[in-house]
Amino acid sequence: MSKKKYTIKDIAKLAGVSKGTVDRVLHNRGKVSQKAYEKVNEVLKKIDYHPNPIARNLKNNKVYGICVILPDPEIDPYWGPAQEGIVQASEEFIPFGVMIEPYFYHPNEAASFIEKSKEALGTNPDAILMAPLFQNESLKVLQKCQDEGKVLASFNNVIDRLHNENFIGQDLFQSGRVAASLIDKMLPAGKTVGIVHINLEPHMQQKEKGFKSYFTSHPEKELQIITQDLSTEVSTDFETQAIEFIKAHPELSALFITNSKAHMLVEVLQEIGADIIVVGYDLLDENIRHIKKGGIDFLIHQKPRSQAYLGIGQLADHFLFGKPIPSQKLLPIDVVTSENLKYYLN
């Protein structure tokens, strides 16, 4: 049964005071006698009255601005679902006076991140939601937000756990351990595994640490681990780098690729006829194609759409309802195979 909705007129009648008195008590404005104040509050407690902050915001024409700073999905497709999450959140919260504006930066250029961050901060938003790839530059944005009393939250990657930051995403260290446990189940003892970073970023190092910690706690596996950085940004083309790495280590039995670019390495493996277990991240179209055909064995799904959507949702709830923003919201670490892939699509 739904609760009765009480109007100011109803409350005034129950308390035996004027509507103006009730309005002044509810909105804490103007002078009210102690006796009238107590009468109104007694009625409010009796009917379990709660203010409607959304209605109040709309009445006051209050608009909250949230700027979302993230890598350009036109350059790195991984961020496409995050953009979809932003669009979904915008459609839901714009009617309640929450305006969301995305700012896209080049994922490999710190200068682009600095430029877009300045543009976003220049609009004087109430909050910033950011997917940080450049740690030092991101720390400066975090510090500026703290100095100016603005709310800042990050998603996908942590800026710095020592600072006051609200984070939405996965436990990156633990996701590395999950990747290691998958490979552990597929290999006998004494094998060699490669950890491959493509365009190295700080979050990849957290995954590497988690991966290595798993096998440190399982010394009986006697596993050899080789770490290799590859780049799409240097003069030597990626394919040449990858072939040189694979041919230099014919003993490799498995590869852990720490970002969404596993498909790039798989295509090189197929070209040279190398049969190696592959664990990577994210449901990009190219990765989906390879996991269907068996080129990729496992993908860890980081849910970028959910991360962006939930990040905006937490900020909107904070402004509209006064809810505290959690210091972190960790999402489940889902393992996708060719057998359960269809349940993660669409």
Output the 3-class SS for the chain.
Answer: CCCCCCCHHHHHHHHCCCHHHHHHHHHCCCCCCHHHHHHHHHHHHHCCCCCCHHHHHHHCCCCEEEEEEEECCCCCHHHHHHHHHHHHHHHHHHHHCEEEEEEEECCCCHHHHHHHHHHHHHCCCCEEEECCCCHHHHHHHHHHHHHCCCEEEEECCCCCCCCCCEEEECCHHHHHHHHHHHHHHHCCCCCEEEEEEECCCHHHHHHHHHHHHHHHCCHHHCCEEEEEEECCCCCCCHHHHHHHHHHHCCCEEEEEECCCCHHHHHHHHHHHCCCCEEEEECCCHHHHHHHHHCCCCEEEECCHHHHHHHHHHHHHHHHHHCCCCCCEEECCCEEECCCCHHHHCC
Q: What is the pLDDT of residue 48?
A: 77
| Choice between 220 and 3, residue whose per-residue pLDDT is larger | 220
Q: What is the pLDDT of residue 53?
A: 64
Q: What is the pLDDT of residue 1?
A: 31
Given a cut of 70, is residue 188 above it in pLDDT? yes
User: CATH 1.10.260.40 in the chain, residues?
Assistant: 8-51
Question: What CATH number belongs to 8-51?
Answer: 1.10.260.40
115's CB contacts (< 8 A; 6+ apart) are: 105
Given a cut of 60, is residue 141 above it in pLDDT? yes
Q: Label residue 54 by pLDDT band (50, 70, 90).
A: low
Q: Minimum mean pLDDT among 14-23, 172-181, 271-280: which range?
A: 14-23
User: CATH 3.40.50.2300 in the chain, residues?
Assistant: 63-169+305-331, 172-301
Instruction: Report pLDDT digits (tens) over 81-137.
Output: 999 999 999 999 988 889 999 999 999 999 999 999 999 999 999 999 999 999 999
Place of tokens 């915008």: 90
Q: What is the pLDDT of residue 51?
A: 67
Report the percentage of the chain scoring pLDDT > 70. 93
Q: Label residue 56 by pLDDT band (50, 70, 90).
A: low
Q: What is the mean pLDDT of the chain?
A: 91
Determine the longest span between alpha carbons in the chain, in angstroms: 88
Given a cut of 70, is residue 57 above it in pLDDT? no
As given in the structure block, the two tokens for residue 340 are: 């359960």
Q: What is the pLDDT of residue 160?
A: 75
Q: What is the pLDDT of residue 335?
A: 98
Instruction: Report pLDDT digits (tens) over 152-172.
Output: 999 999 887 656 569 999 999
Q: Which CATH superfamily is domain 63-169+305-331 in?
A: Response regulator (3.40.50.2300)
Q: What is the pLDDT of residue 273?
A: 92
Q: Label residue 2 by pLDDT band (50, 70, 90).
A: very low
Assess if CATH 3.40.50.2300 describes domain 172-301: yes
- Cα three-residue angle 287-291-295, rounded to 5 degrees: 95
In whole angstroms, give the CA distance from residue 93 to residue 85: 12
Q: Label residue 46 by pLDDT band (50, 70, 90).
A: confident
Cβ-contact 55, 26 below 8 angstroms: no
**pTM summary value:** 0.81
